Amino acid sequence: MAQLQAKGATARTQTLLVVDDRPENLEAMQALLGDGDWQLRCVSSGEAALQCLLDEEVGLVLLDVQMPHMGGFEVARLMRGNPRTRYIPIIFVSAIAQTANAVLQGYATGAVDFMLKPFDPKVLRHKIHSLLEHERNRSELMQLTQQLDSARAFNASVLDNAAEGIMVVGEDGLIRFANPAMAQMLGCSVNELQGSALLSHLRTPAVDCEWPQSAFYQHWRQNKTYRVHEASLRTRDGGSVPVALSCSPLPKLQRAMVVLALDMSVVRSLHSQLESQAVTDPLTGLLNRRGFHQALESALSRTGRSGQRLALLYLDLDGFKRINDSLGHGVGDQLLKRVGEQLKASLRPYDTLARVGGDEFTAVLDSLGHSEDAARVAEKLIEQVSVRHSLNGVDFTIGASVGIACFPECGQTVDSLLRAADMAMYEAKRAGRQQYRFFLPEMNGRARSRLMLEESLRTAIEHNDFILVYQPQIHLESGKLRGFEALLRWQHRVAGTVAPSVFIPLLEETRLINRLGDWIFHQGVRQYGELSRRFSDDLVLSLNVSPVQFGMPQLVEDLGRVLDEYQLDPAQLEVEVTESALMQNLGNTQEQLRQLRLLGVKIAIDDFGTGYSSLAYLRHFELDTLKIDRLFIANMLDSPRDAAVVSTIIDLGRNLGLEVIAEGVETQAQRDWLIEHRCPIMQGFLVAPGLSAADAGLFPAQLDWEALPLHVPPKA
């Protein structure tokens, strides 16, 4: 930057120019002024004076007014016309008394003084001194001004040409100055920026407080520089520019800070490109080992927090080495690429997939319900990969082996899970390839049998391999038939009849119960319509509703539709719900029960006494029937405790005006006990197991206790 030279001219002696056409006058002047602390130059004409003025730096001119050719006034006029000489002071010297006019003319041409001959040399010297001094100050000032101007121009050009955005922000948070680069960055003009609030241009970090609370202001207050490495600014058209900001306080007096904004667009995109390169496998575009580590790490911390499960699958291609060796690396690479695509296609979009080694792939299955789900995915992956491949005109097949490790059972860290899945994968290979294995052996059996069961359940639903059987419910006192409970049976082609306790939980977990539930309603209500024609109009049909079914919002609508279709009185239908189904979502339960009531169906609590058995809900929920769980009935004759439970439930029902049904009555003794304790209704093998619809139709409407056992078909 230009340095100002404040006292640059002091050392120089100034030149005093004397102009007179008479040599004697010049000689006199020489004698008079020759010894001053200036340099004396004497010339004898106006022309010579002008020449000297152009050649030298002259501090003061003593100018004779009357000269031939060019008089003093003319010389002065010419001097004033030239910027170089314009300000040089002139003292006119004249021998003759001047008219007032002439003096005025002299001043008009720029004289600073007049001396009439003869003059007092002392006065003259004094004037010369002070004028030279004055001139010296003036020229120094001129020089300083010039230097200042050029320094200012220099600074302005620095700000104008800087590639970074520069702003001066006042202590009020308003932009006082912005350079063109800043305006360009934000897509607006410098004028628009000036006077606007700095925070209004900031996108991140989001400042949700007033300026005085902002970090910008707080740093400035403490006279500290505030840097934000990852900020972004809002452009006028709504876009954003990533920037690094530095805000430094200006000297106190300015009450402002200078803010530098460095455009980071290129750097950031380069950075993220590098970052993604570091975690991706260039061949398949999947994550590489490093990327997988990171992804699994964050999945683990997510899953750990949510208490959910997660599975890590480790897949290794069978027979890849053979193909790579015989068909070349080009084909090998193509194959890996294709396998990567196939695997990706068989996973959900948010599952993580990576290639962690030559022909080794890993996948993370997030938010997993059961370990069996991981087995299902593993099967799908193996199936996908093990198709016929055709590359470069050669057909071949490969296979895959998969190891599965579940979090949290098989490991809690990235490394331990990877190790477990890897070991399980080797187990799968050893077992003969094309298989999956869990790290924990017990998971293998469980997963396999569950998957098989699930598979055959799906086919059973498709093939309609289910039937309903009907178990009679009898009024204990009179022996009159109250109604039937419909019970589901799976008629397996090989295994025979399968009891619902084996498959209902699985149907629930897989939500297949919803598909089957509809069939049960239809089948039950239709067959029951036929039964009730043979018996009386107040015959009750009890349908079991599982917790999942009970939680479905359209349950009541579905039931209503079926009742409508078969023209059945809703009062003849009883819905059996377990206590746990009622307890799973109390708000929902209340509403569901209300809707069922509105429809007009009865509500029974199944297996009463085994669950929460809270008296509170008996008060809150409107119910019709309590069904005493058959375990209490089975034990009541031997266990006073169970007997107490049974008789309490009977009393409770009577007092609350509810029907009570004893389930699982198998012996005469149990029946007698129940009659003695005034239990109104029973159900159990003593009378009959679940009967086919046809057999149920043959059941007597009025039972003769003495005629027991009835000739009913064997227990279903």
Please identify, using beta-carbon distances, which residue of 14 and 578 lies nearer to ligand C2E: 578
Of residues 500, 529, 551, 611, which one binds ligand C2E by CB under 6 A? 500
Asked if 659 touches Ca ion (CB under 5 A), the answer is no
Q: How far is the CB of 384 from ligand C2E (least distance, A)?
A: 36
SS3 193: helix
Q: Are strands 573-578 and 540-544 parallel, antiparallel or unpaired?
A: parallel
Tell me the window of 16-24, 417-425, 571-579, 673-681 that interacts with Ca ion (CB under 5 A).
Answer: 571-579
Please identify, using beta-carbon distances, which residue of 470 and 617 lies nearer to ligand C2E: 470
Q: How far is CA 336 from CA 316, 356, 357, in A?
A: 11, 12, 11
Query: Residue 309: in which H helix or E strand, if any?
Result: strand 309-318
* 332: partner contacted, choices Ca ion, ligand C2E, none (Cβ within 5-8 A by kind): none
Of residues 25, 288, 544, 683, which one binds Ca ion by CB under 5 A? 544
Asked if 606 touches Ca ion (CB under 5 A), the answer is yes
**Beta strand extents in 30-109 (DSSP E only):** 39-43, 58-64, 90-94
Of residues 499, 644, 669, 710, which one binds ligand C2E by CB under 6 A? 499
Asked if 471 touches ligand C2E (CB under 6 A), the answer is yes
Of residues 245, 487, 662, 703, which one binds ligand C2E by CB under 6 A? 487
Asked if 94 touches ligand C2E (CB under 6 A), the answer is no
Q: How far is the CB of 332 from ligand C2E (least distance, A)?
A: 53
Asked if 666 touches ligand C2E (CB under 6 A), the answer is yes
Query: Residue 590: in which H helix or E strand, if any?
Result: helix 586-599
* 487: partner contacted, choices Ca ion, ligand C2E, none (Cβ within 5-8 A by kind): ligand C2E
Q: How far is the CB of 608 from Ca ion (least distance, A)?
A: 8
- Mention every residue, 6+ apart, whose C-beta is less than 8 A from residue 169: 175, 176, 198, 216, 247, 256, 257, 258, 259
Closest C-alpha to 543, from 566, 527, 565: 527
Please identify, using beta-carbon distances, which residue of 314 and 521 lies nearer to ligand C2E: 521
The whole-angstrom separation of Cα 581 and Cα 612 is 11
Asked if 15 touches ligand C2E (CB under 6 A), the answer is no
Please compute, for residue 614, the number of CA atoms within 13 A of its CA located in the half-sphere on the CB side.
11
Please identify, using beta-carbon distances, which residue of 17 and 575 lies nearer to ligand C2E: 575
Residues paired with residue 544 on neighbouring β-strands, in sequence order: 576
Please identify, using beta-carbon distances, which residue of 642 and 663 lies nearer to ligand C2E: 663
Closest C-alpha to 214, from 157, 168, 271, 171: 171
The whole-angstrom separation of Cα 660 and Cα 641 is 19
* 684: partner contacted, choices ligand C2E, Ca ion, none (Cβ within 5-8 A by kind): ligand C2E
**Beta strand extents in 4-130 (DSSP E only):** 15-19, 39-43, 58-64, 90-94, 111-116
Give residues 471-530 in contact with Ca ion (rule: CB under 5 A): none
* 110: partner contacted, choices ligand C2E, Ca ion, none (Cβ within 5-8 A by kind): none
Tell me the window of 204-212, 405-413, 674-682, 684-692 that interacts with ligand C2E (CB under 6 A).
Answer: 684-692
The answer to whether residues 352 and 376 touch, using CB atoms and an 8 Å cutoff, is: no
Please identify, using beta-carbon distances, which residue of 263 and 606 lies nearer to ligand C2E: 606
Of residues 46, 89, 106, 690, which one binds ligand C2E by CB under 6 A? 690
- Mention every residue, 6+ apart, whose C-beta is less than 8 A from residue 47: 69, 70
Please identify, using beta-carbon distances, which residue of 359 and 607 lies nearer to ligand C2E: 607
The whole-angstrom separation of Cα 162 and Cα 668 is 104
R_g over Cα of the chain:
54
Please identify, using beta-carbon distances, which residue of 33 and 469 lies nearer to ligand C2E: 469
Please identify, using beta-carbon distances, which residue of 128 and 486 lies nearer to ligand C2E: 486
Asked if 664 touches ligand C2E (CB under 6 A), the answer is yes
Of residues 4, 115, 258, 504, which one binds ligand C2E by CB under 6 A? 504
Please identify, using beta-carbon distances, which residue of 399 and 611 lies nearer to ligand C2E: 611
The answer to whether residues 93 and 62 touch, using CB atoms and an 8 Å cutoff, is: yes
Residues paired with residue 662 on neighbouring β-strands, in sequence order: 628, 682
Q: How far is the CB of 482 from Ca ion (least distance, A)?
A: 14
Q: How far is the CB of 603 from Ca ion (least distance, A)?
A: 12
Asked if 679 touches ligand C2E (CB under 6 A), the answer is no
Q: How many helices (H) and strands (E) does the chain have?
A: 26, 27
Of residues 65, 178, 520, 636, which one binds ligand C2E by CB under 6 A? 520
Q: How far is CA 169 from CA 93, 157, 202, 350, in A?
A: 60, 20, 14, 46
Residue 257 burial (10 A CB sphere; 0-12, 13-18, 19+): buried
The whole-angstrom separation of Cα 363 and Cα 219 is 48
Please identify, using beta-carbon distances, which residue of 15 and 471 lies nearer to ligand C2E: 471
Q: Is the dihedral of CA 106, 107, 109, 114 positive or negative?
A: positive
The whole-angstrom separation of Cα 217 and Cα 507 is 64
Asked if 555 touches ligand C2E (CB under 6 A), the answer is no
Please compute, for residue 476, the number of CA atoms within 13 A of its CA located in the half-sphere on the CB side.
24
SS3 155: helix
The whole-angstrom separation of Cα 126 and Cα 117 is 16
Asked if 544 touches ligand C2E (CB under 6 A), the answer is yes
The whole-angstrom separation of Cα 682 and Cα 687 is 9
Q: How far is the CB of 430 from ligand C2E (least distance, A)?
A: 41
Tell me the window of 64-72, 194-202, 544-552, 704-712 that interacts with ligand C2E (CB under 6 A).
Answer: 544-552
Give residues 240-299 in contact with ligand C2E (rule: CB under 6 A): none
- Mention every residue, 6+ apart, whose C-beta is less than 8 A from residue 19: 42, 43, 44, 45, 46, 48, 49, 61, 62, 63, 64, 67, 72, 75
Q: How far is the CB of 570 from ligand C2E (least distance, A)?
A: 18
* 38: partner contacted, choices Ca ion, ligand C2E, none (Cβ within 5-8 A by kind): none
Please identify, using beta-carbon distances, which residue of 544 and 625 lies nearer to Ca ion: 544
Give residues 572-591 in contact with ligand C2E (rule: CB under 6 A): 576
- Mention every residue, 6+ apart, whose C-beta is less than 8 A from residue 65: 71, 72, 73, 92, 93, 94, 98, 102, 106
Of residues 318, 574, 579, 607, which one binds Ca ion by CB under 5 A? 607
x/- letters, 601..640, toward ligand C2E (CB under 6 A): -----xx----------------------x----------
Please identify, using beta-carbon distances, which residue of 252 and 715 lies nearer to ligand C2E: 715
Binding residues for Ca ion, total number by CB under 5 A: 5
Please identify, using beta-carbon distances, which residue of 319 and 500 lies nearer to ligand C2E: 500
- The residues binding Ca ion (CB under 5 A) are 544, 576, 606-607, 663
- The residues binding ligand C2E (CB under 6 A) are 471, 486-488, 499-501, 504, 520, 544-546, 576, 606-607, 630, 663-666, 684-685, 690
